[in-house]
Structure 1
């Protein structure tokens, strides 16, 4: 925040309400802009980015910096991944096991490629070599969380005092790019390779009927909420146990996702007469709400004015990393995953994995499947890769390149 600017922080409930408002702003804009529909740009991305521009204008004109309490936003992320778990069936996961393994391998290779590109670019631009990690997997694959965690250490020990600020700036710019790139890239892969899709891609650019247009009753919603809440409770307990007894620290959404999977594959077997909410419009409603509002709130909270003072060299590195990521997806990820519809959906999500965050990846895949048709395994495979493998590999890659 610049000197002289007044800071206002919206409380949690107001922050949630503002997020909902700008989600609908995104919906209205998407309905009127054919480009956004054709290239599957998620409505909350559009609305959240418009909000960020509005708050940037408030900063410039009135010298007011608007911040937000994001307590509910973080809970929505956990709820969303619990719905993904409740919707998952082991039979589907077994069918996607080979794809899961391949995606792990290509992701690991990409993390090291990203740091190699960043380090070489930093050296060529005359920057400290540690800047290559900051403009590499630390901020791109790792996102804001990893940038904040590693920034002070790099600033203190590796000759790059602006590591924290630069990491946050790089993560913010790449998040915007990832939000806009996933849909167009998947569309390119589907159309260039004439991939067979389960839905219809109307030539006039209109979206197919939304899932939440299906009949939804009160009991269905209540069953879905109960299943999701139980999965979240079990996930919280598992997360606390892992942290206290093993020292393993995972994002909270991971055990909640796994708890949902376990519930969805045991409860219907043990209680066959119970109406389990998997693959119901009610569960889809909860899932869509949680993800949409999470993403809108995340993007609206970006303080875009903080990017103006960032070094142009860092943004040049981000541009190069974007080209490398897109090329890698087209030439490596999509062919390795089978060049089918699921591969195209995962490739669209890989933009979020490589340049943004897991929620960004899920939002891109949601927009893609909303236009072309369902690909349920993709929504389980990619979060498992991003949660279990990427963070561990990223720590190793960052450590290695800082020591070189």
Structure 2
């Protein structure tokens, strides 16, 4: 028996699953500890139930994923609006250095993934998925690139990418603290002697970054303006529309890319024109709110649509690839992130944070750094640098690298 849900039923069903995921996360300590997103909790739980129902011949549930693509494009459009050159410039040389380090990791993850996949005799696209698609990119990039990989012949790519991203969230949270602890003790590092409260840039900021306390949950963004919400929604829609033209131009010259790339490019252009000329100001809080809503619904629908039965035959190759990625992250943070960022206490804290967002997401990196600073003392610069790179810039550059490599493969 097959149950086919139409477009409205699909979004309603996945919204309920999202609410259930939020409830489960609030009650289970380990889910909060590792910053597992509520859509992943609810969606993956349902995917397991759907897998059992299908395998036992009870029922197969099929979703209409039309809105999933729209929500995905809308979210990544809000990411494009964060690509402000002014913000990057204000961050100083340390922010630029860490951004370069983050891009180096993206390249290393993909090179290791592709070469490892070839070495064990599986599709190189699987190595790309186990690379920066699911590691640095997390569930957002996994949900975006998975369907494209499937269209290019890799069966079960979306399910594989989501599973890899979940593995990355957990492993990145586990290795960060011990790595920094080793660096601090080996090099006898001391925290900066300043008496300020530890503050960070909101990891979900879409627009001008603002200082706030960070946690694994969504940060409070203050009172929203109805007129700014309307303006932000219009900006997103226009960028999405113009983005289709950009994406079509790339398609016409034979470059395959996710539908959202064109919208991200247009949004980035709109943002920097706004910064330079003051034309149609960007409302950071409102864009953040709309982006968060779209991301939550997109992830919930993507997780509900997982076909876990497609993972069975590739379980061992995936485990090998993910183990190699974890080892790469440890070595990269220890020998490259720490050294490039100055080999001091702040660099050690950043190394632990890089493990978190290099294998998972920015909140995981923040959680890692908090665990280190709670033991050894404050590192305010680290809490400025990592969120700025992790929340505002790396998604854009990671997508560009993945798209380039995907077309080469």
Assess same fold via TM > 0.5. Answer: yes
The separation in 1 between residues aligned to 2:256 and 2:315, in whole angstroms, is: 35
RMSD: 3.6
CA drift of 1:329 comes to 4.9
Quote the residue 1:317 is aligned against: 320
* Equivalent residue number for residue 71 of structure 1: 66
Gaps of 5+ in 1: 1-5, 123-128, 152-163, 201-205, 353-363, 399-404
Contact 1:20/1:293 (<8 A) preserved: yes
Q: Measured at CA, do residues 377 and 168 of structure 1 come closer, stay the same or move farther in structure 2, by a change above 3 Å?
A: closer
Conservation of the 8 A alpha-carbon contact between 2:232 and 2:282: yes
Q: Partners in 2 of 1:249 and 1:395 — Cα distance? A: 6
The correspondence of residues 216-235 of structure 1 with structure 2, limited to 5 A, is: 216-235=224-243
How far the C-alpha of 1:251 sits from its partner, in A, is 2.1
SS class of match (1:249): coil
Q: Distance in 2 between matches of 1:208 and 1:311?
A: 31
How many equivalent pairs are there? 351
Residue 387 of structure 1: aligned partner: 399
Task: Calculate the TM-score normalised by the size of structure 2.
Answer: 0.72
Distance 1:74-1:61 versus aligned 2 partners, 3 A rule? same
Aligned equivalent of 1:101: 100
Counterpart in 2 of 1:8? 3
The 8 Å contact of residues 34 and 169 in structure 2, kept in 1 or not, is answered as no
Going from structure 1 to structure 2, the CA distance change for 1:366 and 1:290 (only over 3 Å counts) comes to farther
How do 1:6-85 and structure 2 match up within 5 A?
6-85=1-80
Residue in 1 that maps onto 2:150 = 148
**1:217-296 alignment runs, 5 A limit:** 217-244=225-252, 246-267=253-274, 269-271=276-278, 276-280=281-285, 282-296=286-300
- The correspondence of residues 135-214 of structure 1 with structure 2, limited to 5 A, is 135-137=126-128, 140-141=131-132, 144-145=146-147, 147-151=149-153, 164-165=154-155, 170-171=160-161, 173-185=163-175, 198-199=199-200, 207=215, 210-212=218-220, 214=222
2:209: which partner in 1?
none
1:8–1:67 contact (8 Å) kept in structure 2: yes
- Give the structure-1-normalised TM-score: 0.73
Q: Structure 1 192/252 Cα, relative in aligned 2: closer, same or farther at 3 Å? A: farther
CA distance in 2 between partners of 1:8 and 1:191 (Å): 52
Query: Deviation at 1:191?
Result: 7.2
Q: CA separation of 1:137/1:86 partners in 2, compared to 1, >3 Å: closer, same or farther? A: closer
* CA distance, structure 1, for counterparts of residue 65 and residue 155 of structure 2: 21
CA distance in 1, matches of 2:241, 2:55: 44
Q: SS where residue 63 of structure 1 aligns?
A: coil
Matches within 5 A, 1:114-133: 114-120=113-119, 122=120, 129=121, 131=122, 133=124
Counterpart secondary structure, 1:8: strand
Conserved 8 A contact 2:3-2:62: yes
Once the two structures are TM-superposed, the CA of residue 169 in structure 1 deviates from its matched residue by 6.4
Paired with 2:354 and 2:80, the residues of 1 have a C-alpha distance of 17
TM-superposed deviation, 1:311: 5.3
